A and B are shown apart, each in its own frame.
Chain A
């Protein structure tokens, strides 16, 4: 298992380096060159020249990449001229809020999706299963912003239960304290995740229910409930852990949209706002951070998988 994990970690590091390479390439593909694109159309030649020297854009590309990467490792992700802040400062401020939103949604989603999936697997092809499958299909097909809008219309205006806007604050603590404002954003993100996860759990549990070891447990006199909880789940949930890792990109994307609709002051909202005004340093910085977060997340998922599945320890 150690060998497997070491290999995965090295792989992840490689991917992170490659991602930064991609970001770096995009930096140099910016319209008009990086200097013009970042400083804007009103920058003077002098300012441009100064910028170029400052950021080593006159050096050979390889050297640039080395310097730039070195900067990354020291936390230098560039400077946003439009917002007048360092990109890393912005990210440090916003990233935790996005992560909290995602974490809450994942927890809620798992708490609901797994029992739902198990229920559907046990009662497959009954009315209950069909209805729930129907819901899954619909939620799966619904873009997150549409779902957000519908929830707002239903629960903020028609039934004034929850706030249509997320808590606005710079402090994470204040945000978390305002539970009412968090309900709809978390619900939106969770509902879509539930649709995917319950379907997956359902098919994983169903597949395990046809396995021979279930028959052996039944032959020992175990009841259905015990079979599911003690035998099936530990096998069926292992791929769900992998799915979680694979879903991180989609969750980040979902978070972006949810933050935009609800005005949640997270990193996704920042990204969107700056995309509209073409604030390239922020865009590139956030892209890099989000990619790294995804890689780390999926690495953690793989580690969890290796820990949970005893067979992994012994395969080369």
Chain B
């Protein structure tokens, strides 16, 4: 059976001011019918450029400079623009990352889905509409006939992505290219979309190329994987083989940098030193050599070819890791073993003394106004609804949940950026919610918030030195000399050279900017730092660097963190205690290991089940995931707010709001009328240490 797509030695360049970026530098792979190939790598590795090259949709200044892309029997690189257009949308469909911006905001979705049909087929009128409706049905859009005239902004993120998929597949293409199709979506929706793509693949018999940076997504869905680095493929093989026996040091390092592999072990993440090479003048030898812990002179002088001893497993390395055995692979390579038991985690003093932060009955509503002139108060978004928790000094409290759950609002309430409507916030013995004026300002020294978007949180017109010294300046501490000295100290602590003081934020990379944010946070030696999605925008290897840094700082200074994130694996790695939020309510709270290993709330279970785990052997549930869409926060469901999506919901869930109930003596609580039973089967716990290794 000949492959659907065959890419051979593809080279793509993008012209820049002084030269050209060799974004794709000699990439070859094939995809067969019904197969899902994962194209994986961090930003800048060339995976998206490869995808765009296949479609010949390169941005301005980009062009294919060599190689071929053969679809069936046609070399796409040799076609005229006109002939390529006949292929796009008809034989190859493409889905992009952000469905909001990828759909035309001023055209109803029915017409947008119909567009490929109009361009490539003779369908018109009734039969056109029928085909569109059929397709929308196939992608799981509820009530498609009624939605044909809807505009994109009227749909939720998940529904929009379904529309995009419908649009890409409406002409029954042979190949689907999905470029980060779920990155912009909530975890529970992510799973639904990936399920959909998988399902359609089998039903329509397509080949699929899934481009992503998320190893977990690959592990669950891909048949084969190609790992890209600096414009080249460094390793490619069948999924289980890749995860079970990686040969290339980069692949190995990526696995070791994943927080989920290190959760509960107390060990540092492996963070790959340095940065990817400049692709305008790429290095002569192996491109990973500069950052590889095994590199030797040969690696730097000569480029290793992509080949392997075992059929179907190729890698580009002179000094590969792993073993050359060709037998079946049955488990993850080097799974981490939990060095300490779950209940006695790294920060063992879970019950030591009075908590540093104690929040009770927190309520925050955001008013919604409508009306022509007078802007009547028509309702309120219930962002935080009666949340209570406490955090011991020196610990990390992980606050987890999807968009709209209120975790960010809680973070802002804690540091005083929002005023609460009800409840108390005690920090180190003081009820900060009641403080005003000078006392409040004094107390603001004890807390600090780190923003998700590190660039937006830094004044682009201020030098780094001034930015980091600003907290000192605000509170009138020290003089210029002493402030400068303090700035130098904190910059050193976060791993930035003192030369950074004179520079501006735009001169730094994303990870470096987050370090600047951390340095600023440390300037006043606060007791509590709230970190709002601090690593969500960073690549895995950079993320590892920052997480290690945060962990070090915590140990050195006895810091307390409230770590807010939607990414459970990151939260699990760093946190002592975890709180799970849904639509303004705290649904489960407890020690990290307990919440993860033995979740009691169906939502927590759903979240855990839907996180893509970088383990192809992990048990994956098909149907137990969280169904449906997030309800409105203005009129949240009565009783238990999760009931509209819960597989276990009964009448009582609508009538009575479930209180937090304790399970065991370690502070594990969940708010559910029908909490999950704990299974004693270790295989049921995906995160239990792998006893066999």
- B373 A221 Cβ-Cβ under 8 A: no
Give chain B nearest CB distance to A91 CB in angstroms. Answer: 31
Q: Which of B36-89 contact A (CB under 8 A)?
A: 55, 57, 82, 85-89
Q: A220: nearest residue on chain B (CB-CB)?
A: B89
- A216 B102 Cβ-Cβ under 8 A: yes
Using known A-B contacts A220-B116, A221-B88, A314-B153, determine if residue A3 contacts B103 with beta carbons closer than 8 Å: no
Segment of A127-135, A195-203, A207-215 in the binding face: A207-215
Q: A311: nearest residue on chain B (CB-CB)?
A: B153
Q: Please report the total number of B residues contacting A with Cβ < 8 Å.
A: 36
Contacts of A6 in B (CB 8 A): 372-373
Q: Which of A212, A230, A231 contacts B96 (CB 8 A)?
A: A212
- A310 B153 Cβ-Cβ under 8 A: yes
Contact with A along B356-388 (1 / 0, CB 8 A): 000000000000111111000000000000000
Q: Which of A7, A217, A308, A311 contacts B115 (CB 8 A)?
A: A217
Decide if B167 is an interface residue (CB 8 Å cutoff): yes
- B372 A218 Cβ-Cβ under 8 A: no
Contacts of A7 in B (CB 8 A): 372-373
Q: Which of A216, A220, A223, A235 contacts B106 (CB 8 A)?
A: A235
Q: Which of A216, A223, A316 contacts B103 (CB 8 A)?
A: A216
Give chain A nearest CB distance to B532 CB in angstroms. Answer: 26
Q: With the chains together, A311 CA to B153 CA distance in Å? A: 7
Decide if A107 is an interface residue (CB 8 Å cutoff): no
Contacts of A221 in B (CB 8 A): 85-90, 116, 119-120
Q: Which of A176-232 contact B (CB under 8 A)?
A: 211-213, 215-223, 226, 230-231
Q: With the chains together, A7 CA to B372 CA distance in Å? A: 5
Give chain A nearest CB distance to B442 CB in angstroms. Answer: 39
Contacts of A230 in B (CB 8 A): 107
Contact with B along A301-316 (1 / 0, CB 8 A): 0000000111100101
Contacts of A226 in B (CB 8 A): 119
Contacts of B105 in A (CB 8 A): 213, 235, 310-311
Q: With the chains together, A151 CA to B562 CA distance in Å? A: 72
Decide if B455 is an interface residue (CB 8 Å cutoff): no
Decide if B101 is an interface residue (CB 8 Å cutoff): yes
Using known A-B contacts A221-B119, A310-B153, determine if residue A215 contacts B96 with beta carbons closer than 8 Å: yes
- B369 A316 Cβ-Cβ under 8 A: yes
Decide if A10 is an interface residue (CB 8 Å cutoff): yes
Contacts of A316 in B (CB 8 A): 368-370
Contacts of A216 in B (CB 8 A): 94, 96, 102-104, 164, 167
Q: A6: nearest residue on chain B (CB-CB)?
A: B372
Q: With the chains together, A216 CA to B168 CA distance in Å? A: 9
B contact patch SS: mixed
Q: Which of A1-15 contact B (CB under 8 A)?
A: 2-4, 6-7, 10
Contacts of A219 in B (CB 8 A): 55, 57, 88-89, 93-94, 96, 168
Q: Please report the total number of A residues contacting B with Cβ < 8 Å.
A: 30
Contact with B along A83-123 (1 / 0, CB 8 A): 00000000000000000000000000000000000000000
Q: With the chains together, A61 CA to B219 CA distance in Å? A: 81
Contacts of B87 in A (CB 8 A): 221
Q: With the chains together, A223 CA to B81 CA distance in Å? A: 9
Q: A226: nearest residue on chain B (CB-CB)?
A: B119
Q: B117: nearest residue on chain A (CB-CB)?
A: A220
- B85 A3 Cβ-Cβ under 8 A: no
Q: A231: nearest residue on chain B (CB-CB)?
A: B104
Q: Which of B545-577 contact A (CB under 8 A)?
A: none
Q: Which of A63-90 contact B (CB under 8 A)?
A: none
Q: A10: nearest residue on chain B (CB-CB)?
A: B373
Q: With the chains together, A167 CA to B492 CA distance in Å? A: 80
Decide if A59 is an interface residue (CB 8 Å cutoff): no
Contacts of A314 in B (CB 8 A): 153-154
Q: With the chains together, A220 CA to B90 CA distance in Å? A: 7
Q: Which of A216-262 contact B (CB under 8 A)?
A: 216-223, 226, 230-231, 234-235, 238
- A310 B96 Cβ-Cβ under 8 A: no
Contacts of B101 in A (CB 8 A): 211-213
Q: With the chains together, A221 CA to B168 CA distance in Å? A: 11
Decide if B98 is an interface residue (CB 8 Å cutoff): yes
Using known A-B contacts A316-B368, A316-B370, determine if residue A222 contacts B115 with beta carbons closer than 8 Å: yes
Q: With the chains together, A135 CA to B481 CA distance in Å? A: 56
Q: With the chains together, A185 CA to B344 CA distance in Å? A: 88
- B372 A10 Cβ-Cβ under 8 A: yes
Contacts of B98 in A (CB 8 A): 212
Using known A-B contacts A215-B96, A215-B102, determine if residue A234 contacts B372 with beta carbons closer than 8 Å: no
- B373 A220 Cβ-Cβ under 8 A: no
Decide if B151 is an interface residue (CB 8 Å cutoff): yes
Give chain B nearest CB distance to A204 CB in angstroms. Answer: 13
- B107 A234 Cβ-Cβ under 8 A: yes
Which of A10, A213, A235: most chain B CB closer than 10 A?
A213
- B372 A311 Cβ-Cβ under 8 A: no
- A3 B115 Cβ-Cβ under 8 A: no
Q: With the chains together, A2 CA to B370 CA distance in Å? A: 11
Contacts of B370 in A (CB 8 A): 3, 316
Q: Which of B82, B119, B151, B371 contacts A220 (CB 8 A)?
A: B119
- A309 B106 Cβ-Cβ under 8 A: yes
Q: A5: nearest residue on chain B (CB-CB)?
A: B372
Contact with B along A39-57 (1 / 0, CB 8 A): 0000000000000000000
Give chain B nearest CB distance to A13 CB in angstroms. Answer: 11
- A213 B103 Cβ-Cβ under 8 A: yes
Q: A2: nearest residue on chain B (CB-CB)?
A: B372
Using known A-B contacts A213-B104, A311-B105, A311-B151, determine if residue A218 contacts B57 with beta carbons closer than 8 Å: yes
- B373 A222 Cβ-Cβ under 8 A: no
Which of A221, A238, A308, A316: most chain B CB closer than 10 A?
A221
- A218 B88 Cβ-Cβ under 8 A: yes
Contacts of B164 in A (CB 8 A): 216
Q: With the chains together, A221 CA to B106 CA distance in Å? A: 19
Q: With the chains together, A4 CA to B98 CA distance in Å? A: 29
- B102 A212 Cβ-Cβ under 8 A: yes
Using known A-B contacts A7-B373, A316-B369, determine if residue A234 contacts B94 with beta carbons closer than 8 Å: no
Q: With the chains together, A213 CA to B96 CA distance in Å? A: 10
Q: With the chains together, A36 CA to B292 CA distance in Å? A: 93
Q: Which of A218, A220, A223 contacts B167 (CB 8 A)?
A: A220
- Would you list 12 pairs from A and B whose C-beta atoms are within 8 A, ordered by A residue? A3-B372, A6-B372, A10-B372, A212-B101, A216-B104, A216-B164, A219-B96, A222-B85, A310-B105, A310-B153, A311-B151, A314-B154
List 8 additional contacts besides A10-B372, A221-B85, A221-B86; criterion CB under 8 Å.
A6-B372, A216-B164, A218-B57, A218-B88, A221-B116, A226-B119, A235-B106, A316-B370
Closest 4 CB pairs of A and B: A220-B89, A221-B89, A6-B372, A212-B101
Chain A contacts to B: CB under 8 angstroms: 2-4, 6-7, 10, 211-213, 215-223, 226, 230-231, 234-235, 238, 308-311, 314, 316
